[in-house]
Structure 1
């Protein structure tokens, strides 16, 4: 499996980095999971992450009057602006804004150790770098940002950081 992945990454490919396309990949971080990006125009994109929430910065965390004690599901979307940082356009910087929906097990004191499922909604911002190796159909990215919850616990903050790889087609 590892040899197959390494040979695929090293195999020459005629595709150049294009920004009017789709890309699909994996993101490790907060949230972690599947990443889908749609590039459009010369410097815009929409980025969607579907995966886990709460695994990197603590699955046990104070929340409202109780705490979280699990990893949950997250869906995060951002409208992105990106710009080339090099003349070859292989390194691009980006930033964007959007929202996030999370669900986790919430343990309030009133339930004496039992939990309820908590759905939270908030805004998020992100910034990062994306590297497109010349002649390869994939890119690597590193990003960081902040999630600010609006519902259930207004102004609950969480870092959103990640790194990953995307296949561009």
Structure 2
């Protein structure tokens, strides 16, 4: 379970925005808000940096930077699985502390990372972003709350979200 869903389950949070897939226990409700494609982040000096889109198989000889599984377990599993199927060595993957720090590692020449397209707005130096032509890889962004939530404030917030 991700730290956000753990905090929800333990009552430390009332509502959270999460990236799917995530461990969605029967204790939670989810409302998908958006679907976001994953993109390839590459150093600008990489031989494939001029390509508009890339197939994951083209990156077999480039080290991959992975974020920790605890950050987004379901998304990590999806990214890890796609990399394995493409023949990328995930056993020797570089580990970042979070999704955003993977871009810093790419900027320093540490390999490539698969990140949600919205992270291109961070725009660290030396990083280029490329559409992923194969496989299709995306993440859904969802609102998550406890199924039997009693808080009046949370109920009002959810009602406003459904009206919006």
TM-score tier by shorter-chain length is under 0.3
TM-score, length-scaled by structure 2: 0.27
Compare the two structures and name the one with the higher helix fraction: 2
Q: Which has the higher strand share?
A: 1
